[in-house]
Amino acid sequence: MQKVTIVGSGFAALTAVKTIRAKSSSAEITVVSPKAEFHYLPGSIWIPSRIREPRDLIIPLQPFFKRMGVNHVAGTATGLSEDGRQLETTAGLIENDGLIIASGGRFIKKLPGIENAITPCEGIDETLKIRQRLSEMDGGTIAFGFAGNPKEPSAMRGGPMFEFLFGIDRQLRLEKRRDRFKLVFFTPAENPGQRLGPKAVTGLVSEMKKRDIETHLGNKMVKFTSTGVETEGGQFNADLILFMPGMTGNQWFDNTSLPRSPGGLIKADAQCRVEGMERVYVAGDSGSFPGPDWMPKQAHMADLQAEAAAKNLYADWQGMPAEETFKVELVCIVDSQNSGMLVARTMKRNIVMPNMRLFHWLKRLFEWWYLRQYR
């Protein structure tokens, strides 16, 4: 019986569980995460508007783990033996015949005054803070922005910020108080959304102009204060700041000999193998993979990488070549509560479909379809 340990219980981790179990009915699967829960963060864009509540997006995983024959260890990783065969956790030492690291990423919180900003993708509790703050405001300026990791071009998550921007604009209009608010979008990039492709940049900027959203683009961030945002190109006042910083690796990586990229992520090859380590794989936000600068840090990409990692681990066990790779593609719907813009990008093409009501409902349908496998 082969033992696999999977660190995390997000998109990549759960896809790895399904893939391993489909390949082997006898493998002993251990998942290490703080709670046996799956948080569907793509749906958190709808929490400020109450289209979604936390109970809709936090899925207890005990039924899924029981069906899959998974042993869940409530804890967090703290270290790793040099050959990867022993994972150190807050719940004790766990031995394995194969390891898949899918513990996600960590937002870089070094910018002075960042405690004055809310980082939406840090969790559902953060989006509840946005809801509360919006309900308390009679008017004022709301700033929306994101930045990247300068040492790791792919380690950023800017897409959701467009959804919070357009969604809150729509929400304020429905509440008939948009005229009391100024919305400002800011980013150090001169062309916001360029990772989505050139066509998307044009569409997003056009949508901001249509909605009377001001922009502050192409200036390096300096600091946040309790009353505003300061950049090298000037400062502006803000009563509420929503900001997504760049990403880096988990802190527990520092206690290991895992190879790291310049941006702090785990270095992996096209087969999701951790460089220089046997039967150790990485998937999702934790890893630095070969590919284009626009390769996204998003759930779909994490699923593709996890499937490749799990298949290759199984091939290792069988003494077969581990040659499975993952397709690099970006697929998302930039939602605004009642409509959405479909964006798709591959190595060969870039497709951008205009805002349509259909895409909003497709996003909600996909959420239902995706979550039903874990309920």
pLDDT of amino acid 330: 93
Q: Does residue 94 contact residue 111 with C-beta atoms inside 8 Å?
A: no
What is the C-alpha separation between 114 and 281, in angstroms, rounded?
33
Query: What is the dihedral sign for C-alpha 46, 172, 214, 131?
Result: negative
pLDDT the model gives residue 40: 97
In this predicted model, what pLDDT tens digit does every residue of 142-196 receive, in sequence order? 999 999 999 998 888 889 999 999 999 999 999 999 999 999 999 998 888 888 8
Other C-beta atoms lying within 10 Å of the C-beta of residue 17 = 25
For residue 285, pLDDT over 90 is answered with: yes
Short-list 289, 298, 292, 297, CA closest to 270 = 289
Q: Mean pLDDT, to the nearest integer, of 4-30?
A: 98
Question: What pLDDT digit, counting tens, does each position of 346-361 carry?
Answer: 999 999 998 999 999 9
Beta bridge partners of 106: 248
Q: What is the pLDDT of residues 26-54, one digit of tens each?
A: 999 999 999 999 999 999 999 999 999 99
User: Averaged over 118-147, what is the pLDDT?
Assistant: 96
Are the C-beta atoms of residues 278 and 242 closer than 8 Å to each other? no
Both tokens of residue 321? Answer: 């070549």
What is the arithmetic mean of pLDDT over 75-88? 97
pTM for the model: 0.95
Q: What are the residues whose beta carbons fall under 8 Å from the beta carbon of 5, sequence distance 6 or more? A: 30, 31, 32, 87, 94, 96, 98, 99, 100
Tell whether the model's pLDDT for residue 202 goes beyond 90: no
Q: Look at phi and psi of residue 240 and say left if phi exceeds 0, alpha if psi is from -120 to 50, else beta.
A: beta
DSSP annotation string for 244-304 = E--EE--GGGGGS---B-TTSSEEB-TT-BBTT-TTEEE-GGGEE-SS-TT---SHHHHHH
Mean pLDDT, the chain, whole residue set: 95
Q: What is the mean pLDDT of residues 80-102?
A: 97
Q: In the Cβ-directed half-sphere of 106, how many Cα atoms lie within 13 Å?
A: 15
Distance CA 183, CA 239 (A): 10
Q: Among candidates 54, 104, 96, which has minimal Cα distance to 73?
A: 96
Higher pLDDT residue, 232 or 191?
232
Given this model, what pLDDT does residue 255 score? 96
| Short-list 57, 52, 9, CA closest to 30 | 9
pLDDT tops 90 at residue 300? yes
- Which token pair is 242? 């929503």
DSSP one-letter code for 85: S
pLDDT tier, 335 (very low <50, low <70, confident <90, very high otherwise): very high
pLDDT at residue 198 greater than cutoff 90: no
pLDDT band at residue 119 under the 50/70/90 scheme: very high
Over range 296-323, report the average pLDDT: 96
Q: What is the pLDDT of residue 153?
A: 82
Contact present, 163 and 191 (Cβ < 8 Å): no
List alpha helices for the chain, DSSP H. 11-23, 54-57, 62-68, 124-136, 159-174, 198-210, 299-317, 357-371
Share of the chain above pLDDT 70, in %: 100
pLDDT of 201 > 90? The answer is no
Give me the residues paired with residue 31 across strands. Answer: 6, 72
Among 309, 295, 219, 225, smallest CA distance to 263 is for 295
